């Protein structure tokens, strides 16, 4: 009997020892049992990789698309502004002007100026009226004066219908108070007063018109008490006068063909604007000079080039957003191609082709010899979609040469400027920007305006704004779903952690029981058998 018990005890001891050995071989830096924190971390990483990562990737893709559309919207607005600038006649000034004596007069040119030469004699410059006090100077600007009670009467030449303004002066009133009283009526008289120091301790009143020109002249009457005498002794330093230039006919002849004809022009300022159409003359000093207006197409060419560059920047933005780049020949198997954020997007893809179509289409109701950009030397480079002046060698290795685009454009500006302006759809305005309604600019402007603002009849929303809003809504929906998934992952991880902790507790109890059994059977095996 005892032999049977001993045999059973031996088997149990071997089983207990085996279990203890298995528990003790589990890698757990915190001690015996399962490494709960490591297992929990591993599970969380797996769940995040499998459940969170795909959603986050979708959100990231949508955000990239939204950013691309925002950048595209900005590029469209920039090109639209460039189109408005080129549509203004101001950008197409093909003349320049110069003065042989810039110390006498300078000149600038605007659209509408005719080529020619103008002899200018500046006979007088514009002046403001100024009168100063010469009697009873005071020792203080703001202190009590030695002046008696009286009246200042200021009568403008043209303002206030020539009616005088009466200003009362109190006995002992300071010069500054008198100046303040005069300035209360500046709107009616056009006269401003100030107190001036002579640098030797004396102060006096100075009256001056607020603008140059004969219309701002005035007279001052100074009386004391009820008498006719004055106490300020106002003296005229400068009379109000207009600027005056004597203009010789263009090229030295009058419109009737007789030589020596002159015209006198006056201005209330030293600037004579559009008195000669398209010219602004600034008189500097009296004397003579010659103004020359000559043909110069560099300004128009520069404006068109700037517009072409804005178009090319827009095209580069679109192509970058929609491009597809295949893996290189040396890439490893399984490598992915590179795609832009808007690759495959219908709206963006259509814009690539539509912009080119709008830019290069034939314009009706214009000179049939100049009814497209290509007809004046501007073409599309098929390799990048850029607007460029046609190269004599073309864009391929084709045999033969083509007309030089820059020469074609220069000749068109020189010989057929009005036709070129009509082709582009230039608006006759003095403003720096204009909204084109015809020509190449009008077609492109209308197309871009629909993209940015929607249909011109007010129906529908901007396709760009609609796309941005849709992408934003999709991101919001996915983010809400991601928040739910993250909560579920957290709950599952917490449950898993609780289960592992319970398992470790059971294993610890088993280990303790096995140690007790081992100790008990060990003591039994030491007793003598009967």
Encode pLDDT of 466-495 as tens digits.
888 888 888 888 888 888 888 888 888 888
Which residue bears the tokens 């006068």?
A: 241
Q: How far apart are CA 371 and CA 373, in angstroms?
A: 7
Give burial (CB, 10 Å; 0-12/13-18/19+) of 32: middle
What does the DSSP 8-state code read for residue 289?
Answer: E
pLDDT above 90: percentage of residues in the chain: 48
Q: What DSSP assignment string belongs to 143-208?
A: S--SPPSEEEEEEESSGGGG--EEEEE-TT--HHHHHHHHHTTHHHH-EEEEEEE-SSS-EEEEEE
pLDDT, average across residues 165-170: 96
Q: Which comes out higher in pLDDT, residue 440 or 510?
A: 440
Q: What is the pLDDT of residue 105?
A: 97
119 near 247, Cβ under 8 Å?
yes
Determine the topology of domain 130-238 in CATH.
Answer: Immunoglobulin-like (2.60.40)
pLDDT at 399: 47
pLDDT tier, 40 (very low <50, low <70, confident <90, very high otherwise): confident
| Domain map (residue ranges) of the chain | 2-65+467-525, 67-88+299-323+340-462, 95-126+243-296, 130-238
How confident is residue 528, by pLDDT bands cut at 50, 70 and 90? low
More confident residue, 477 or 134: 134
Q: Which residues contact 261 (CB under 8 A, 6 or more apart)?
A: 248, 249, 253, 254
Prediction pTM value: 0.62
At residue 487, φ and ψ (nearest 5 deg) are -65, -40
In this prediction, residue 268 carries a pLDDT of: 96
Q: What are the DSSP calls for 85-151, one per residue?
A: HHHBGGGG--EEEEES-TTTEEEEE-TTPPSEEEEEEEEE--B--EEE--SS-BS-SSS--SPPSEE
């Amino acid at each position: 009997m005892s032999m049977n018990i001993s045999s059973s005890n031996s088997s149990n001891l071997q089983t207990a020892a085996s279990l203890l050995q298995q528990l003790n071989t589990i890698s757990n830096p915190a001690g015996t049992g399962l490494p709960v924190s490591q297992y929990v971390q591993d599970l969380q990483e797996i769940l995040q990789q499998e459940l969170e990562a795909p959603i986050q990737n979708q959100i990231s893709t949508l955000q990239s698309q939204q950013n691309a559309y925002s950048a595209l919207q900005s590029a469209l607005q920039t090109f639209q502004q460039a189109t408005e600038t080129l549509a203004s006649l101001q950008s197409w000034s093909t003349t320049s002007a110069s003065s042989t004596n810039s110390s006498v007069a300078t000149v600038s040119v605007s659209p509408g100026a005719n080529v020619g030469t103008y002899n200018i004699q500046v006979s007088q410059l514009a002046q403001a009226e100024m009168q100063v006090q010469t009697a009873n100077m005071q020792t203080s600007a703001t202190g009590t004066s030695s002046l008696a009670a009286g009246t200042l009467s200021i009568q403008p030449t043209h303002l206030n219908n020539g009616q005088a303004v009466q200003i009362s002066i109190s006995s002992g009133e300071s010069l500054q108070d008198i100046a303040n009283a005069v300035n209360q009526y500046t709107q009616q008289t056009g006269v401003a007063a100030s107190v001036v120091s002579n640098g030797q301790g004396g102060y006096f009143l100075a009256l001056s018109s607020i603008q140059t020109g004969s219309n701002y002249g005035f007279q001052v009457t100074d009386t004391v008490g009820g008498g006719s005498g004055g106490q300020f002794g106002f003296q005229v330093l400068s009379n109000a006068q207009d600027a005056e230039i004597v203009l010789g006919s263009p090229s030295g002849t009058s419109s009737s063909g007789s030589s020596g004809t002159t015209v006198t022009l006056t201005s209330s300022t030293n600037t004579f604007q559009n008195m000669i159409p398209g010219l602004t003359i600034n008189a500097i000093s009296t004397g003579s000079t010659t103004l020359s207006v000559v043909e110069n197409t560099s300004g128009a060419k520069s404006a068109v080039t700037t517009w072409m560059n804005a178009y090319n920047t827009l095209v580069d933005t679109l192509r970058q957003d929609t491009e597809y780049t295949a893996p290189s020949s040396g890439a490893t198997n399984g490598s992915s191609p590179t795609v832009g954020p808007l690759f495959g997007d219908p709206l963006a893809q259509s814009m690539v082709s539509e912009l080119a179509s709008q830019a290069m289409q034939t314009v009706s109701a214009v000179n049939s010899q100049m009814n497209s950009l290509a007809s004046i030397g501007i073409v599309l480079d098929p390799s990048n979609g850029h607007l460029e002046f046609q190269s004599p060698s073309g864009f391929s290795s084709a045999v033969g040469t083509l007309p030089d685009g820059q020469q074609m454009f220069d000749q068109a500006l020189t010989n057929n400027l009005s036709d070129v302006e009509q082709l582009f759809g230039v608006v006759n305005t003095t403003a720096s920007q204009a909204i084109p309604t015809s020509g190449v600019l009008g077609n492109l402007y209308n197309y871009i305006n629909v993209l940015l603002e929607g249909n011109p009849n007010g129906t529908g929303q901007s396709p760009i704004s609609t796309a941005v809003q849709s992408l934003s809504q999709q991101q919001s929906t996915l983010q809400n779903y991601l928040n739910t998934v993250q909560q579920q992952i957290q709950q599952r991880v917490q449950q898993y952690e609780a289960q592992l902790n319970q398992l470790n507790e059971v294993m610890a109890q088993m280990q303790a029981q096995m140690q007790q059994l081992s100790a008990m059977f060990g003591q039994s095996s030491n007793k003598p058998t009967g």
